[in-house]
Every structure is written in C-alpha cells, then in structure tokens.
Amino acid sequence: MYRYLGVGVFGCWGVWQELRCAFALKEIALAFRSYEDLRVFQMAEKLSELVWQIVLGWKYFEKTTMGGQLVTAADSIGANIAEGAGRGTDKENQRFIRIARGSLYELKFRLGRAISRGLIKESEITAVQSLIAEIGPSLNAYLKSFTNRIKT
C-alpha cells in the first residue's frame, strides 16, 4: 500500500495502522485544494483575460503604456494567489493574498484612468467592475480563513 522501505506512512506499522494512515492521507488530500480550484483564483483569471481582450483592441501607444500596466496589475492578482499557495506556510500565503489585494486596488486605479481617458467602452466597464466587486470580498474572505485557522 503506502509503504516505503518496510515502514508505513507517518511511521505506521501493521495492516490496521496502515489502513488508518491511508484514510488519513485521503482526508488530507480531500481537505487540500489546489489554488486553481479556488473560486477567487478562477475569478482573477477571468478578470485577467477580460482585461487582456480589452487592451488588445487599443492603438499602439495606449496599448504599450496604459494597457501594459492594466494587464500587469490584472495578471498579478492570480499570480500572487498562486505564489502564496506555493510558499507552504499560512503566514506566507496570507502575505501574498495581501499583495494580490494590492494588485486589485492598483487595477481599480488604472481602470479609472483608462475610463477617464476614454479608452474603455461602457459594456467593458460594467464587466470588469462587476468582477472587481466580487474579487475584493473573496480575497478578504480567503485571507480571513487563514487568520481563523492560525488562531485556533
């Protein structure tokens, strides 16, 4: 079963102990979710793609100045969620969730600039703003889930 050099998983010996350890491993695997399964990450990816599609239609100057900054800020949200998950500790994960939240606020700022400069259509504004409105509270809830886990 889960045997390495004659010793069961987590130092368990015997058939019953190995079965108990196997069930424990299965529970751990079920409890752990990849960052890719997180709803907040999926929304961040959707937002990133939406911003990318909007910027693709811009003229060269707008695309290379404001567009690049918008895309980078949008991409950073999901990238920081992923990096935090890969760090291995709750404290580090929290740090990167906060950075992702900062990137979300940067995107909101730059989006306001793009709107004031007439670069984004009304239909695009609504779609982007609705995703931003969902991602902010989701990031806060994700961050709070770590805070609660650390305290207990």
List of residues 6+ apart from 44 with CB closer than 8 A? 74, 77, 78, 81, 100, 135
pTM of the predicted protein model:
0.76
Give the whole-number percent of the chain exceeding pLDDT 90.
70
Q: Give the C-alpha separation, 131 to 45, whole Å.
A: 10
pLDDT 10s digits, 26-44: 444 444 579 999 999 999 9
| CA dist list (Å): 94 to 7, 41, 83, 99 | 36, 14, 11, 9
Q: Is 7 helix (H, G, I), strand (E, B) or coil?
A: strand
Q: Which pLDDT does position 3 carry in this prediction?
A: 39
* 2: number of Cβ within 10 Å: 12
Looking at every residue in the chain, the average pLDDT score rounds to 84
Q: Give the C-alpha separation, 7 to 10, whole Å.
A: 8
Which residue from 92, 102, 39, 95 is spatially nearest to 72, judged by alpha carbons? 102
Q: Which pLDDT does position 147 carry in this prediction?
A: 75
